[in-house]
Amino acid sequence: MPYRRLPNTDSARLRAMQKALTKSENMLPMELPYSAVTLQELRYFLPEFKQAIMMQRDVFERQTSKNKQHQECFRKARLYISHFIQVLNFAIVRGEMKPDVRKYFNLPADETKLPQLNTERDVIEWGKKLIDGEQKRLSEGMTPVMNPTIAHVKVHYENFVRLNTQQKGLQESNSNALAKISDLRGKADRIILNLWNEIEEHYNNESPSVKREKAAEYGVSYVWRKNEKAEAEAERLELNLFSNVE
């Protein structure tokens, strides 16, 4: 005997409610296998649930589509920041600049190692330090760091910061959309459970197979257990065989 299985995904929830609502079109309330109260609840709730899911999918798609560009801007910004510090260190090694010039960039005077640039926060932090430090140096009449200049660093840094801000906004929007769907999901499950209970109760006087067939027209889902499905198929084939013999 197949068993009823309630939807366990949002797409399945939408299909279940939509099928019941579509089936009810052009039908009088007394013709429905479920109550007018449930029908009204479906009509109000389904558009809200559908819109919440569509909004979340839209935000997620935009976030995903921007991700490659975001990663490339991150790579470029990190590269230019790294190269700027390396060129600064080379100038110090060649004696063109004194080691204490590093203080303008919040770098230890005797430190030649590059700072950590593994995360977005690292790149944002060090990019700002370099831009502020070089602007201060230039305002004091010092020789600019070249290849790359701070202007080149700033272009890639600002591109990354802009895209990073957009991505953070999309991530937050996606989280909010998912939270809203989660809040609505409980109500969707309650409506579907009540709807299916009413539909099955309406067809209680029918044989089990007819009851399932009629209920399925309104979205009620039934699943055969693996062994039962095989037995039912064998029984069907046997009946067909006897029918052909006769």
pLDDT digits (tens, 9 = 90+) for 54-73: 999 999 999 999 999 999 99
Cα 34 to Cα 174: distance, rounded to the nearest angstrom:
35
Does residue 168 register a pLDDT over 90? yes
pLDDT for residue 227: 67
Cα 9 to Cα 192: distance, rounded to the nearest angstrom:
13
Which range marks the domain in which residue 13 is found?
3-245
What is the CA 148 to chain-centroid distance, rounded?
38
pLDDT 10s digits, 180-221: 999 999 999 999 999 999 999 999 999 999 999 999 999 999
Read off the amino acid at residue 65: S
Count of structural domains within the chain: 1
The residue-averaged pLDDT of 40-54 equals 96
Q: Give yes or no for a contact between 101 and 92, defined as CB atoms under 8 angstroms apart.
A: yes
Cα 190 to Cα 11: distance, rounded to the nearest angstrom:
16
Predicted TM-score of the model (pTM) = 0.77
pLDDT for residue 3: 85
The backbone torsions φ and ψ at residue 4, rounded to the nearest 5 degrees and listed phi first, read: -80, 135
Q: List C-alpha distances in Å: 55 to 102, 136, 180.
A: 49, 46, 10
The residue-averaged pLDDT of 214-243 equals 70
Does residue 159 register a pLDDT over 60? yes
Q: Return the minimum-mean-pLDDT range out of 29-43, 97-111, 186-200, 215-229.
A: 215-229
